[in-house]
Amino acid sequence: MASSLFPRSRQQGVSLLNLIIFLAIIGGIAVLAMKVVPTVTEYLSAKKAIQSIKAAGGSPQEMRAAFNRQAEVGYITSLKGSDLDIVRQGDQTELSFAYQKVIPLAGPVSLLIDYEASTGDSRTAQPAVP
């Protein structure tokens, strides 16, 4: 008779174990984002720098020096002016770069990201004099 006074209803909600697992997954994603976002920001700064250097023009040496100056201001540590590929395409000078960034995650596990950018299509370009 006591069972009819208190009908059994199925409890719904999140168990403590499910909550812990969910928070661990969210925490892992947050840690990954905190490690990746700075490298993406650096890449975008470098891409913006080569576009502004192309617009300013100059010799390849001047472009490399200009990139080094912008790298200091824009916190670009993965590239130097000497890492830029500068090619002459007709009357245009195109700048490009490519590099890899290794992000250590935990122990022997790392994330490798390939970054590359160019101010134009350099498939048919001729190398500029350094």
**What is the predicted pLDDT for the residue at 7?**
65
* DSSP secondary structure of 101-120: EEEEEETTEEEEEEEEEESS
**Predicted local distance difference test score (pLDDT) of residue 90:** 78
**What's the DSSP call for residue 128?**
P
- Residue-wise pLDDT tens digits, 97-116: 999 999 998 899 999 999 99
Percent of the chain with pLDDT over 90: 66
Alpha helices in the chain (DSSP H): 2-5, 16-56, 60-73
Q: Hey, what amino acid is at 115? A: Y
Q: What is the pTM of this model?
A: 0.76
12-58: pLDDT as tens digits: 777 889 899 999 999 999 999 999 999 999 999 999 999 999 998 88
- Tokens 């975008």 appear where? 44
